[in-house]
């Protein structure tokens, strides 16, 4: 068996008390002080474990943050004094898109680096908006390979970034066509820059350590160079450069050429002269992959397609952090915008040669797989890696306000460990989905809508024949 | 009421000449009585939608106890004081309209009713609190919950699929049928291949749950209820326990990819053998029993080494084509000459092709397991994202099998998110012959769907665990009765539906999607079907002309 991509992980416990979904309210008065207190019978021993913490609470709500919601104590209490409630702090996590469930599962994955598993089937909505309006396929008998227990052992999740020639030309047995540099990363994931709404913590040193360990790429705002590495990291700067893609802000001081040469990819913001800048960069740093960052606003899709027409080979389309088209009244979702770009590039015949990176709203590992099925080659994301550090996505993430999760003052090992664990958990879950599909190559996921099922399409094709037209929302 | 019947009697039941190797596997069988008996909840404080509080002003006059027909107020014999009100029996706000509303009638104004705020923490989108409460009531009483309880137990809040489908009942039943004129049985062998035409009395059977994933008591309760209702239960992947032997005649041996505990005898002793290719809870993924759950008892039955993690590969490493699949079926059919074979698959995009392939390979039962069900531990990412919901799959496969001319030669069984009698009826109207249920049986046993079945010692409520201390919470008689009661109540609900359509048999309902409407559609297709009933705007699927209830889909669980 060839050497396999592997991320070594160890659990990294949280710094703060956990915010669980359920809490137990204990109406102390009237307690019978019976000797069979049901609190002792909690299978998870929550009442005892958390009593020490609860004693330190100033106000008197007796919440158990890691209550599993089994109702055992509630239903056996002699005097019916215990009640189970949903923790309001839990319900207030995140926003409409970044739901408490997403935040909680991200915390769990950042702690354990493993695939979250639970019993009792699915508990959620039939379908939803965005990525929740699609399902991935499975196969009864097709496997990634016939080897191994599940065949998963042979799944490759690596993808390429850069221009792929449409064909090769040979002369007397030798390749004569130009073979541009491409860059391959072991997971179709790039850690992006922070969205402007979340500016408080400076997480670059952790991010860069985590991407070095996992050999993926992080996009770094060039204005932050070299402060994006801490002192110790700066001493061995070369070790980090292959995993950095500078976002070359035109106002920022230039990154020295010898530094750029050690990176494999750079990104430039879209502008009228983006293609000229790209050409200049490629001349100055031969072989470097240049991505053009296109904000997915009203013009985003058209612009991405136009840039490819004019010779761009890597497009990074970015929606807002909730995955929506930027500044549009009835925004489209990232998955639909990717599908459109992808389809239009197929029609123009350019799709196979260029790389499409999709960002905005990528919150869970399944979004990575689904974005690929919709036509992206790679996804980019930031917030999950901030949430990994116990961020709650409050809206106080601005200089001058203090972070309730204390992200300004986290330890290095903690920060790196939690991010690395989350990357590892995403990787494992991508393999789960690919294994179920019987897919061996993440490269082949791209645009394979035949291996996806879309809610609107299923409703129309299957229910439409039975129930006619769907009501307009 | 149990008795042993000699194996010879069962030979006659089969109506077929049995090969010697099958006869050799036969052991005396235990009968279980189908009768309903009260099986009250096993917890001290049962969930109540409305809670009654009695204040110190109470003078214990006993007026409330005399009034309330639901026995909420109890004074134990020999006591002067009343016990804590049994709020879960109270019908709640609807009682206001009666003459006996104790809150108003108490001369001391000592009683107070509040909506239980804890209900918000109970259940989820697929199994909202009302559905759990309704299912518990059915398991307790054997009857559909009385209307006064105003429990919307028939549909969940998932916002799609079954939860948005409603029956279009005719204004008035086209035929006046009495309950006992309505037949709920279905036939599982629709091929003319000389194998027994096994019929089950209700259009459902119990899904596979292995020992290890659930307790002995849970498994046996399921099996015994299957005996009582003349239907089936399934071993699951973990092997055939000796304790199941007295119920052989109502068991399905599952042959899953790990082949744990699969031996010639375990195939020969049962009337149905199920090939599990995939399961809806984790479509496309194999099972994984963690090393510390591989206890000596589990290891023995799985014929494995104690303490090592047990992987079930995915899929069958011996099946890469329909021809391979056919060989598997032939193998089973050869080893057990009376067996029907079922092929359990998940719901990929090409589920229709899978089904027709399986049919041509010779399966008797095509069992589609959709992505939203399952009881066992599964990766969260798989539960939500992989494979199509069963509602689509049933309709798709039914249509395809009809078009291929194969539909009447195979039994189409659906599972994966079938929670109530109404779901069962909807699944059948979409095109299934019957369904497989799992979660609902566990709910009958007191499951609250906390989904911690796989964590630590397993289910804290003693259902899905093999922890020696936790399993003692439940006894076999009670467990059996709860499931028997649930089945009885479901059957009544189902008969209520068939009656409103004037159908004498549940088999008439198969594929009658014209009798369904979808709340998100204009329902303007195929309205002019022959013998289609008059359209009714009644959006409620509940019988007895109940007022339509607004479907509440946005409520958070
Ligand atoms: S509800 Fe269950 S998990 Fe929560 S504290 Fe009570 S016994 Fe423990
Ligand atoms: S009617 Fe009122 S005073 Fe009388 S026993 Fe009931 S609660 Fe007490
Ligand atoms: S409100 Fe009605 S049902 Fe409830 S306890 Fe009083 S009398 Fe009984
Ligand atoms: S652990 Fe929770 S979900 Fe699982 S069987 Fe027990 S009560 Fe049900």
Q: What is the mean pLDDT of each run of 10 residues along chain A (473 residues)?
A: 82 91 75 76 78 59 73 88 87 93 96 90 92 91 65 85 85 82 92 88 91 96 91 94 94 90 96 94 92 97 96 95 96 96 96 95 97 97 96 82 86 96 96 89 93 94 94 80
Q: What's the domain count of chain A?
A: 2
Nearest CA to ligand 3 atom 8: B68
Query: What value does the mean pLDDT take over residues B470-476?
Result: 91
Q: Are residues A170 and A73 in the same domain?
A: no
Tell me the chain A residues in contact with residue B282 when contact means C-beta distances shorter than 8 Å. 436
What pLDDT was estimated at residue B550?
Answer: 38
CATH of the domain at A237: 3.20.20.70
* Cα–Cα distance, B520 to B345 (Å, whole number): 29
Query: What value does the mean pLDDT take over residues B216-222?
Result: 93
pLDDT in tens, B112-158: 999 998 999 999 999 999 999 999 999 999 999 999 999 999 999 99
B-interface mutation test, from A84, A467, A469, most B Cβ less than 10 A away: A467
Q: Are residues A79 and A171 in the same domain?
A: no
- CA atoms within 13 A of residue B26's CA, in its CB half-sphere: 21
Tokens of A65: 């943050």
Query: Which of the listed residues A74, A92, A110 is the one where a domain comes to its end?
Result: A92
Q: Are residues A87 and A200 in the same domain?
A: no
Tell me the chain A residues in contact with residue B464 when contact means C-beta distances shorter than 8 Å. 119
Between residues B262 and B415, which one has the greater pLDDT? B415
The ranges assigned to domains in chain B are: 2-36+182-498, 50-121
A217 three-state secondary structure? strand
Q: Are residues A350 and A227 in the same domain?
A: yes
Does A207 map to a domain? yes
Tokens of B151: 């429990």
Tell me the shortest Cα–Cα distance from B275 to chain A, in angstroms: 12
Tell me the chain A residues in contact with residue B557 when contact means C-beta distances shorter than 8 Å. 123
The reply to whether domains B2-36+182-498 and B50-121 share a CATH topology is no
What pLDDT was estimated at residue A145?
Answer: 66
pLDDT in tens, B247-293: 999 999 999 887 887 889 999 999 999 999 888 777 777 776 767 66
Query: Which of the listed residues A41, A62, A92 is the one where a domain comes to its end?
Result: A92
Does A184 map to a domain? yes
Q: Are residues A274 and A392 in the same domain?
A: yes
B383 CA distance to ligand 4 centroid (A)?
Answer: 16
Query: Which of the listed residues A92, A114, A146 is the one where a domain comes to its end?
Result: A92
A302 three-state secondary structure? helix
Q: Are residues A84 and A229 in the same domain?
A: no
What pLDDT was estimated at residue B15?
Answer: 46
* Cα–Cα distance, B376 to B390 (Å, whole number): 18
Q: Are residues A86 and A190 in the same domain?
A: no
Return the ligand number nearest the Cα of B90: 3
Q: Chain-wide mean pLDDT for chain B?
A: 87
Q: String of b and e for A403-418 (b: at least 16 CB within 10 Å)?
A: bebebeebeeebbbbb
* Cα–Cα distance, B455 to A118 (Å, whole number): 8
Residue showing tokens 């989820």: B124
Residue showing tokens 């969205």: A195
A144 CA distance to ligand 2 centroid (A)?
Answer: 70
Tell me the chain B residues in contact with residue A453 when contact means C-beta distances shorter than 8 Å. 349, 388
Tell me the shortest Cα–Cα distance from B386 to chain A, in angstroms: 5
Return the ligand number nearest the Cα of B79: 2
Give the list of residues 6+ apart from residue A8 with CB closer than 8 angstroms, or none: none
Does A211 map to a domain? yes
Domain that holds residue A79: 20-92
Query: What value does the mean pLDDT take over residues B47-65?
Result: 92
Tell me the shortest Cα–Cα distance from B110 to chain A, in angstroms: 18
B446 CA distance to ligand 3 centroid (A)?
Answer: 24
What pLDDT was estimated at residue B23?
Answer: 78
Tell me the shortest Cα–Cα distance from A180 to chain B, in angstroms: 37
Return the ligand number nearest the Cα of B48: 3
Query: What value does the mean pLDDT take over residues B233-244?
Result: 87
Does A387 map to a domain? yes
Residue to probe by mutation, ligand 4, list B207, B450, B466, most atoms within 8 Å of CB: B450
What pLDDT was estimated at residue B425?
Answer: 98
* Cα–Cα distance, A254 to A264 (Å, whole number): 17
A-interface mutation test, from B314, B347, B391, B462, most A Cβ less than 10 A away: B314
Return the ligand number nearest the Cα of B82: 2
Q: Are residues A80 and A181 in the same domain?
A: no
Task: Give the torsion through C-alpha atoms of A449, A450, A456, A458, to 10 deg.
Answer: -170
Q: Which of A71, A151, A470 sits opposite B521 (nearest CB)?
A: A470
Q: Are residues A226 and A347 in the same domain?
A: yes
Count of pairs with CB atoms under 8 A, one residue in A, one in B:
272
pLDDT in tens, B512-543: 999 999 999 999 876 444 443 433 333 333 33
Tell me the shortest Cα–Cα distance from A226 to chain B, in angstroms: 38
CB contact under 8 A, B159 and A116: no
* Cα–Cα distance, B18 to B10 (Å, whole number): 10
Does A341 map to a domain? yes
A74 CA distance to ligand 3 centroid (A)?
Answer: 23
Domain over B50-121 is classified CATH 3.90.550.10: no
B78 CA distance to ligand 2 centroid (A)?
Answer: 17
Tell me the chain A residues in contact with residue B46 when contact means C-beta distances shorter than 8 Å. 75
Q: Are residues A167 and A85 in the same domain?
A: no
Q: Which of A75, A150, A364 sits opposite B44 (nearest CB)?
A: A75
Nearest CA to ligand 1 atom 1: A71
Ligand 2 proximity of B402 Cβ (cutoff 6 Å): no
Backbone angles phi, psi at B76, to 5 degrees: -70, 145
CB-CB contact of A38 with A72 (8 Å): yes
What pLDDT was estimated at residue B31?
Answer: 93
**N-terminal to C-terminal alpha carbon distance within chain B:** 41
Q: Supply the pTM of this predicted model.
A: 0.92
Task: Give the torsion through C-alpha atoms of A372, A375, A376, A381, to 10 deg.
Answer: -60
Pure H helices in B363-417? 380-385, 390-403
B82 CA distance to ligand 3 centroid (A)?
Answer: 15
Q: Are residues A176 and A321 in the same domain?
A: yes
Q: Which residue of B has its CA nearest to A115?
A: B379
Tell me the chain B residues in contact with residue A450 when contact means C-beta distances shorter than 8 Å. 349
CB contact under 8 A, A69 and B448: yes
Domain over B2-36+182-498 is classified CATH 3.90.1150.10: no
Q: Which of A70, A78, A117 sits opposite B378 (nearest CB)?
A: A117
Q: How far is CA A267 from CA A248, A250, A278, B130, B441, in A?
A: 6, 11, 9, 54, 56
Tell me the chain A residues in contact with residue B324 when contact means C-beta distances shorter than 8 Å. 141
Does A121 map to a domain? no
């Amino acid at each position: 068996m060839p050497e396999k991509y592997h991320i070594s992980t160890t659990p990294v416990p949280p710094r703060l008390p956990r915010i669980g979904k359920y809490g137990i309210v204990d109406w102390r008065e009237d307690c019978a002080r019976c000797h069979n207190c049901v609190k002792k019978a909690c299978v998870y021993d929550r009442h005892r474990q958390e009593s020490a913490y609860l004693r330190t609470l100033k106000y008197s709500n007796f919440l158990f943050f890691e209550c599993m919601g089994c109702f055992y104590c509630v239903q056996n209490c002699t005097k019916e004094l215990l009640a189970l409630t949903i923790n309001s702090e839990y319900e207030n996590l995140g926003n409409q898109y970044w739901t408490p469930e997403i935040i909680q599962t991200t915390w769990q994955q950042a702690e354990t680096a493993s695939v979250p598993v639970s019993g009792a089937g699915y508990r959620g909505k039939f379908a939803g908006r965005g990525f929740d309006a699609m399902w991935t396929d499975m196969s009864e008998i097709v496997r990634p390979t016939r080897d191994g227990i599940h065949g998963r052992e042979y799944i490759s999740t690596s993808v390429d970034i850069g221009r792929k020639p449409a064909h090769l030309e040979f002369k007397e047995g030798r390749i004569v066509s130009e073979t541009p540099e491409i860059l391959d990363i072991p997971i179709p994931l790039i850690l992006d820059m922070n969205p402007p709404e979340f500016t408080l913590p400076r997480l670059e040193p952790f991010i860069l350590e985590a991407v070095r360990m996992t050999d993926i790429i992080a996009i770094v705002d060039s204005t932050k160079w070299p402060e994006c590495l801490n002192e110790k990291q700066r001493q061995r700067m070369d070790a980090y450069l292959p995993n950095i893609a500078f976002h070359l802000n035109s106002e920022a001081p230039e990154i020295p050429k010898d530094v750029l040469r050690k990176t494999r990819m750079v990104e430039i913001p879209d502008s009228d002269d983006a293609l000229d800048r790209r050409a200049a960069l490629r001349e100055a740093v031969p072989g470097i992959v240049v991505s053009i960052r296109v904000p997915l606003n009203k013009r985003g899709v058209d612009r991405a397609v136009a840039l490819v027409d004019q010779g761009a080979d890597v497009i990074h389309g970015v929606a807002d952090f909730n995955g929506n088209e930027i500044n549009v009244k009835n925004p489209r979702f990232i998955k639909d915008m990717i599908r459109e770009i992808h389809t239009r590039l197929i029609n123009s015949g350019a799709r196979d040669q260029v790389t499409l990176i999709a960002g905005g709203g990528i919150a869970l590992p399944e979004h990575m797989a689904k974005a690929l099925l919709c036509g992206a080659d790679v996804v980019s994301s930031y917030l999950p890696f901030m949430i990994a550090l116990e961020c709650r996505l409050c809206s106080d993430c601005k200089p001058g306000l203090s972070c309730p999760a204390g992200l300004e003052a986290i330890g290095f090992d903690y920060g790196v460990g939690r991010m690395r664990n989350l990357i590892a958990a995403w990787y494992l879950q991508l393999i789960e989905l690919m294994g179920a599909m019987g897919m061996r190559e993440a490269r082949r996921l791209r645009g394979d809508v035949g291996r996806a099922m879309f809610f609107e399409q299923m409703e129309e094709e299957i229910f439409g024949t039975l129930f006619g037209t769907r009501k307009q929302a | 009421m149990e008795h042993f019947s000699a194996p010879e009697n069962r030979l006659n039941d089969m109506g077929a000449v049995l090969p010697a190797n099958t006869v050799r596997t036969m052991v005396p069988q235990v009968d279980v009585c189908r009768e309903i008996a009260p099986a009250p909840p096993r917890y001290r404080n049962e969930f109540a939608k409305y809670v009654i509080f009695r204040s110190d002003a109470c003078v214990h006059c006993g007026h409330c106890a005399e009034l309330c027909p639901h026995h909420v107020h109890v004074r134990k014999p020999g006591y002067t004081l009343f016990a804590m009100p049994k709020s879960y029996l109270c019908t709640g706000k609807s009682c206001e309209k009666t003459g006996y509303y104790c809150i108003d009638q108490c001369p001391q104004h000592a009683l107070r009713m509040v909506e239980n705020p804890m209900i918000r923490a109970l259940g989820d989108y697929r199994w909202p609190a009302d559905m759990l409460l309704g299912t518990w009531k059915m398991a307790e009483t054997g009857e559909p919950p009385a209307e006064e309880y105003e429990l919307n137990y028939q549909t969940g809040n998932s916002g799609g699929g079954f939860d948005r489908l409603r029956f279009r009942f005719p204004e008035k039943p086209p035929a006046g049928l009495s309950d006992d004129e309505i037949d709920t049985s279905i036939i599982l062998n629709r091929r003319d291949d000389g194998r027994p035409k096994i019929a089950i009395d209700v259009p459902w059977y119990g899904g596979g749950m292995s020992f290890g994933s659930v307790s002995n008591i849970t498994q046996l309760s399921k099996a015994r209820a299957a005996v009582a209702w003349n239907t089936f239960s399934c071993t699951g992947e973990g092997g055939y326990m000796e304790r199941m032997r007295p119920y052989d005649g109502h068991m399905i041996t599952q042959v899953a990819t790990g082949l744990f505990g699969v031996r010639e005898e375990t195939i020969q002793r049962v009337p149905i053998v199920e090939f599990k290719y995939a399961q809806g809870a984790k479509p496309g993924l194999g099972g994984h029993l963690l090393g510390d759950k591989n206890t000596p008892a589990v290891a023995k039955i799985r014929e494995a080494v104690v303490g090592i993690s047990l992987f079930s590969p995915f899929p069958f490493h011996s099946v890469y084509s329909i021809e391979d699949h056919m060989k598997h079926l032939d193998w089973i059919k050869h080893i057990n000459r009376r067996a029907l074979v079922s092929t359990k698959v998940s719901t990929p995009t090409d589920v229709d092709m899978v089904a027709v392939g399986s049919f041509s390979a010779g399966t008797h039962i095509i069992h589609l397991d959709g992505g939203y069900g399952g009881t066992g531990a599964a990766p969260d990412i798989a539960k939500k994202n992989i494979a199509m919901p069963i509602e689509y799959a049933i309709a798709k496969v039914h249509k395809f099998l009809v078009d291929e001319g194969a539909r009447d030669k195979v039994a189409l069984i659906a599972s994966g998110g079938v929670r109530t009698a109404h779901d069962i009826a909807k699944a059948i109207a979409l095109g299934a012959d019957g369904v497989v249920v799992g979660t609902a049986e566990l709910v009958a046993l007191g499951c609250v769907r906390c989904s911690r079945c796989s964590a630590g010692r397993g289910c804290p409520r003693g259902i899905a665990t093999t922890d020696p201390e936790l399993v003692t919470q439940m006894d076999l008689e009670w467990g059996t009765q709860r499931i028997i009661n649930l089945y009885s109540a479901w059957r009544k609900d189902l008969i209520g539906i068939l009656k409103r359509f004037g159908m004498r048999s549940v088999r008439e309902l198969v594929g009658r999607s014209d009798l369904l409407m979808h709340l998100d559609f204009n329902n303007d297709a195929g309205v002019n079907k022959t013998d289609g009933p008059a359209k009714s705007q009644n959006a409620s699927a509940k019988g007895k002309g109940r007022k339509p209830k607004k479907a509440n889909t946005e409520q958070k669980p």
